[in-house]
Amino acid sequence: MKKYLGIIIFICLFLTITGCGKKGVIVKDDLDIEVNSEVKIISLISDKNELEIINKDDIVDTSKIGKKEITIKYKDNKEEKEQVIKVNVVDTTKPVIEYKNELTTKAGKEIDLLKDVKVSDNSKEDIVATVVGEYDINKDGTYKLKYVAVDSSNNKVEEEFILVVEKVPSLTLGKTYYNKDNMNNGKASYITEITLSKDMSVRSYTCAKNAGCTEYRGSFKISGTTLTITLNKYQDVDGSWHTLPKEAQVSKKCTITDNNTFSDNNNVIYVMK
């Protein structure tokens, strides 16, 4: 009996000294790691592990999604050993959208809703956001819309933003608009009044310092807040009408500021009376 007891004690001491019975490095239960993330070998090791990890600071290649084998180098009773484990590189992270919370435009004026929108993702894919929601660029109002971005792993992000379509001031047709200050920034001649007819024809009077006034006629068009006036005919002193040469025709781009006012490219203001 004593002989067997001695053998048992010897075996126990041998196992204790040599470390026999250990099953290698203990790793974490969850070995899913995000694609393109920086992961060191040590981050895969369980807190319960007692073995020394030699390559603990090695970086795991996470550039491709899927399962891959990782070699762990460790010491077991001063003996260097290797253990191969399998990790799963996954993509569970949603893309990130950079955008403005509110965009503004005038009714009838197109706007690129994606102009300043940027999408970034841990997958490093080129992702383009899309706009979800209904709006009418020709109708003033406030529209609640969404930017949506999806990566190849079907991670989806939605961000709400607001599109404000402002009402465009509309000039009253069939009325005459007068030069507010009867001046043209010091120029020798200036337009004293402009009449915008309902048939889209225009009539204006241009006066010169120390001289009379000449009546001009032409057409106009309105696009959003821009009023474009083209004058191509004039009345002579004898009352006859003549067509101006093309190079002498007058084209003025004006900005509509409200329903009763517009200003030309010389900052001359015309007001309806």
Domains recognised in the chain with CATH numbers: 29-90 (no CATH), 96-166 (2.60.40.10), 175-272 (2.40.128)
Q: Which helix H or strand E contains 41, and what residues bound it? A: none
The Cα-based distances of 23 to 46, 53, 64, 81, 256 in angstroms read 14, 14, 30, 12, 83
Residue tagged 């004690």 (tokens): 9
Question: Which residue in 213, 211, 212, 171 sits closest to 195, CA to CA?
Answer: 171
CB count, 10 Å around CB of 115?
A: 8
- What is the radius of gyration, based on Cα positions, of the chain? 40
pTM above 0.85, yes or no: no
d(CA 36, CA 31): 15
57 by DSSP, 3-state: which?
A: coil
Distance of alpha carbon 213 from alpha carbon 204, whole angstroms: 10
d(CA 246, CA 40): 76
pLDDT value at residue 14: 47
Give the per-residue pLDDT at 250.
87
Q: Are 14 and 77 in contact (CB under 8 A)?
A: no
Query: Which sign, positive or negative, has the C-alpha torsion 171, 174, 175, 178?
Result: positive
What does the pLDDT read at residue 18?
Answer: 46
Determine the 3-state secondary structure of 40 from DSSP: strand
Tens place of pLDDT per residue across the chain (273 aa): 555 555 554 554 444 444 444 579 999 999 999 999 999 999 999 999 999 999 999 999 999 999 999 999 999 988 999 999 999 999 999 999 999 999 999 888 899 999 999 999 999 999 999 999 999 998 999 999 999 999 999 999 999 999 999 988 888 899 999 888 765 555 545 678 899 999 999 999 887 766 678 899 999 998 878 899 999 999 988 889 999 999 889 898 999 988 899 998 888 889 987
